[in-house]
Structure formats: C-alpha cells, structure tokens
C-alpha cells in the first residue's frame, strides 16, 4: 500500500479499492460478531472432544460422551417397542376372537397386521387384499377354509398345500380330464355354471347334474355348497377363484390348478400371525 486513503466525511481509512468513485470504509468488524466467531471456535473444539469427530485410520474418535447415531436409533426403536409392549403382551395372551372383540386391541392388531400384510402378503393377494385370478380376494365373504378369526389364523399359521408343514391345509381335486369324457366335462360345467345363474345350453344341465352327483358331490356336497373342512369351494355363489363361466369351469374340471400358500408361523411368529388374522378378519368378510 503506497498511501492510505482517508475518507473525508467520516475520517475513517478506506480499503483502498474504488468502484466508480465509491470507496469502502475500512471499519472493523463489529465486536459482537468477532466475539461470536471466537465462541464458535471454542465451541467447535469442545464439540470434537465430546462427540465423534476426528477421522482415524479405521474409524473416528469416539468422543467422551459416547454418543453414536446407531445407538440413538437403537434407543428410539427400543422406546417404540416399549410403547407397544402392553398391546403386544395382550395380543400374545388372548385368542384372536378376544382380540377382535376388544376395540382398543383390535385397533392395534389391525394396524400392526396391516403393516405385516403390506410386507408379506401383498405380493399374491394385492395391496388392498383384493386378490386376483387364482389368488383369493380376502375382502369378500367366500372362504375356502373358513372365515372365522381362528380359521384364518390356522390358514396363515400352516399355509395351504405347503409340503414342509405337516399341519398344512390340503385338498386336491383330481384332474377329471383323465376320468370322465369331454362331453361329460361340458355337461357338468354347464350344470355348475347354471347353479349361480349363469345361462348356458339348457339341454346339458340335466346330464350335467348326473355327472355332478356321481363325481363331484362327494367333496362339493349334493347341493354344491362346498365343504370348508375339505377346502372344497361353494359352486353356487358368485365368486370364482379361477374365473366364472363354463369355459373357466371346464378348464378347472379337466386339469385343476392348485394354489399354494406358505406357512407363516416360522417366519412371523405367533403374535404377528394373530395380528394378521385380526386384520384379515376386519376387512369385511370375516365370519
């Protein structure tokens, strides 16, 4: 700096820069600002001692307070679990019917079961539990294995046709394509379709009824209302797992498809399964 420029009006030296005749006064920083700045430095030193900060070769300094964000999360999760503990204990000790009858407990189980459903069940049954062809709709009132809360719990616990669970629900409709003729299949399909009001070739209905009585009534019942003990579906209602109409019915008579549902007890445990059962039961079709 060759010469210091002093501002005439204020008598304060300037920074020496000039922009179109405008100069900047070389005022000191405000004292409060400088003080605050030094305080932040002191604070920073204290902080790096108290908290994990300095990077080392394999990890960082731990800090004298022993804080870690992992522990923080762990504590928060533990607190959340503790907050739920009262309800979880009640769910453990009560039957699903008792849970469903208790307003507060049902609300908890429906929320918890809904969360478990969205993780474990939506892949097959859909996010609204509405199912799809081959995967039952859990909102309706048609149940292959029973719609009481305990029956639903049993189904979730042991699964359906799940080979590795000895208590799994099993039913297997024979492939009638090898047992009866194609004509008989057409007849019985038309007859079964007519039971729920779907109109087909009326002349096939009577022979179809005979075929049904000989081959199907053993499991589906003489009135075709099905049998939940055997997992035999009701053929007189409006709900068709593999589609309505004579063609879809004929395909299922000829070579039936058999869906498989895993047993969930091993993966989810009894409490979660109970919550799921209460949730499914609350969807509107529960008996």
Partner 1 sequence: MNGNVIGCARVEMHVLDKTVERLEAEAVNSTKSRQPLYAPRKKIFPKRASGSFRRFKWLVMVITLGIYYLTPWLRWDRGPFAPDQAVLVDLASRRFYFFFIEIWPQEFYYVAGLLVMAGIGLFLITSTVGRAWCGYTCPQTVWVDLFLVVERAIEGDRNARMKLDAGPWTTRKLVLRVSKHAIWLVIAAATGGAWIFYFADAPTLIGEVFTGTAAPVAYITISVLTATTYTFGGLMREQVCTYMCPWPRIQAAMLDENSLTVTYNDWRGEPRSRHAKKVQAAGQLVGDCVDCNACVAVCPMGIDIRDGQQLECITCALCIDTCDSVMHKLGKERGLISYTTLSDYNANIAVATAGGSGPVNPSLVRTADGTFSDRLAHFHIRKTFRPRTFVYMGAWSAIGLALLYSLLTRERLEVNVLHDRNPQFVTLSDGSIRNGYTVKLLNMVPEPRTIVVAMQGLPGAEMSIVGIDLPAGRSFAIPAEPDRLKMLKVFVRQPANQVEGIVQTFKFRVEDKASFESDEYTATFNAPETAR
Residues contributing to the annotated binding site for heme c: 121, 124-125, 173, 216, 219-220, 261
Backbone angles phi, psi at 132, to 5 degrees: -165, -175
List Cα–Cα distances, 56 to 59, 62, 215, in angstroms: 5, 10, 78
Nearer CB in complex with partner 1: 116/144: 144
Listed ranges 84-92, 113-121, 137-145, 271-279: which one lies at the site for partner 1 (CB under 8 A)? 137-145
d(CA 251, CA 150): 33
Please calculate the CA angle 285-286-287 and round it to the nearest 5 degrees. 115
Q: Which of 27, 40, 132, 223 is close enough to bind partner 1 by CB under 8 A?
A: 27
Q: Which of 97, 139, 171, 271 is close enough to bind partner 1 by CB under 8 A?
A: 139
Please calculate the CA angle 193-195-201 and round it to the nearest 5 degrees. 50
d(CA 263, CA 127): 20
90 binds partner 1 (CB under 8 A): no
Residues 180-209 binding partner 1 (CB under 8 A) are 196-197
SS3 percent helix, strand, coil of the chain, rounded to 5, is: 50, 5, 45
115 binds partner 1 (CB under 8 A): no
- C-alpha neighbours within 13 Å on the C-beta side of residue 77: 6
10 binds partner 1 (CB under 8 A): yes
Nearest to 143 by CA among 221, 222, 232: 232
Nearer CB in complex with partner 1: 176/240: 240
141 binds partner 1 (CB under 8 A): yes
CB of 260 to partner 1, least distance (A): 24
Q: Which of 66, 243, 259, 284 is close enough to bind partner 1 by CB under 8 A?
A: 284
CB of 240 to partner 1, least distance (A): 10
Provide the token pair at 58. 């394999």
d(CA 230, CA 241): 16
List Cα–Cα distances, 103 to 98, 100, 109, 117, in angstroms: 10, 7, 10, 20
Nearer CB in complex with partner 1: 152/185: 152
262 binds partner 1 (CB under 8 A): no
Listed ranges 60-68, 203-211, 257-265, 277-285: which one lies at the site for partner 1 (CB under 8 A)? 277-285
Listed ranges 40-48, 126-134, 155-163, 173-181: which one lies at the site for partner 1 (CB under 8 A)? 126-134
Provide the token pair at 246. 């004579």
Binding site for partner 1 (CB under 8 A): 10, 27, 103, 106, 127-130, 137, 139-142, 196-197, 234, 237-239, 282, 284-285
């Amino acid at each position: 700096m060759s010469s210091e420029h002093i501002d005439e009006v204020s008598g304060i030296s300037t920074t020496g820069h000039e922009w179109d005749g405008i100069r900047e006064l070389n005022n000191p920083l405000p004292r409060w600002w400088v003080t605050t700045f030094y305080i932040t430095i002191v604070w920073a030193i204290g902080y790096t001692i108290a908290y994990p900060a300095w990077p080392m070769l394999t990890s960082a300094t731990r800090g004298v307070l022993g804080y870690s964000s992992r522990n923080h999360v762990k504590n928060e999760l533990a607190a959340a679990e503790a907050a739920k503990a009262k309800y979880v204990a009640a769910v453990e000790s009560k039957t699903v019917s008792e849970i469903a009858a208790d307003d507060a407990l049902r609300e908890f189980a429906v929320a918890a079961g809904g969360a478990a459903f969205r993780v474990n069940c939506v892949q097959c049954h859909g996010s609204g539990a509405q199912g799809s062809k081959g995967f039952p709709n859990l909102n309706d009132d048609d149940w292959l294995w029973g719609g009481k809360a305990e029956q639903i719990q049993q189904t979730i616990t042991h699964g359906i046709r799940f080979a590795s669970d000895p208590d799994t629900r099993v039913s297997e409709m024979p492939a009638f394509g090898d047992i009866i003729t194609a004509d008989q299949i057409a007849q019985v399909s038309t007859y079964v379709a007519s039971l729920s009001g779907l109109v087909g070739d009326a002349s096939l209905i009577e022979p179809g009824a005979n075929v049904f009585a000989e081959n199907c009534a053993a499991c589906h019942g003489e009135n075709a209302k099905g049998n939940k003990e055997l997992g035999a579906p009701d053929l007189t209602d409006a709900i068709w797992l593999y589609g309505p109409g004579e063609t879809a019915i004929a395909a299922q008579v000829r070579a039936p498809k058999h869906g498989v549902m895993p047993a969930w007890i091993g993966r989810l445990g009894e409490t979660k399964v109970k919550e799921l059962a209460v949730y499914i039961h609350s969807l509107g079709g529960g008996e």
